[in-house]
Structure 1
Amino acid sequence: MANLSSQRKASFEEEILTTAAGTALARFDARSVEQLKGYGFSMDEIYRFVAPRRTLARRLENNERLTLAETDAAQRILRIGELADRVFEDRKKAQSWLRKPSRALNGIVPLDLLISETGARLVEDELIRIEYGIYS
Structure 2
Amino acid sequence: MSEYMKHLKGYSVQENALMIVEDPSGTYVVGNGYFDFIQLSRSGIIKRALINLGKQISFSLAELSQVLHVSERTLQRYSDDAKLSADTSERAILLSQLYQRGTEVFGHLADFKEWMRTPLPAFNYQTPISLLDTTFGFQLIQDELGRIEHGIFA
> TM-score, normalization: structure 2?
0.67
2:124 to 106, 109, 115: 106
Q: Which stretches in structure 1 are left out of the alignment for 5+ residues? A: 1-15
115-124 or 48-57, which deviates more: 48-57
- Give the equivalent residue in structure 1 for 2:77: 58
- Select the structure with the greater relative contact order (CA < 8 A; seq sep ≥ 6): 2
More helix by share: 1
User: How many percent of aligned residue pairs carry the same amino acid?
Assistant: 27
Determine the structure 1 residue equivalent to 2:50: 33
1:70 maps onto 2:70 in alignment: no
Aligned residues: 118
Larger gyration radius, structure 1 or structure 2: 1
- Does the C-alpha gap of structure 1 residues 23 and 48 become closer, same or farther in structure 2, counting only changes over 3 Å? closer
Contact 1:87 1:127 in 2 (8 A): yes
Q: List gaps (5 residues or longer) in structure 2.
A: 1-31
* Alpha-carbon distance in 1 for matches of 2:112, 2:60: 14
Q: Secondary structure at the match of 2:79?
A: helix
Deviation at 1:24, TM superposition (A): 5.1
Letter in 2 for 1:134: I
Q: Provide the alpha-carbon RMSD of the alignment.
A: 2.1
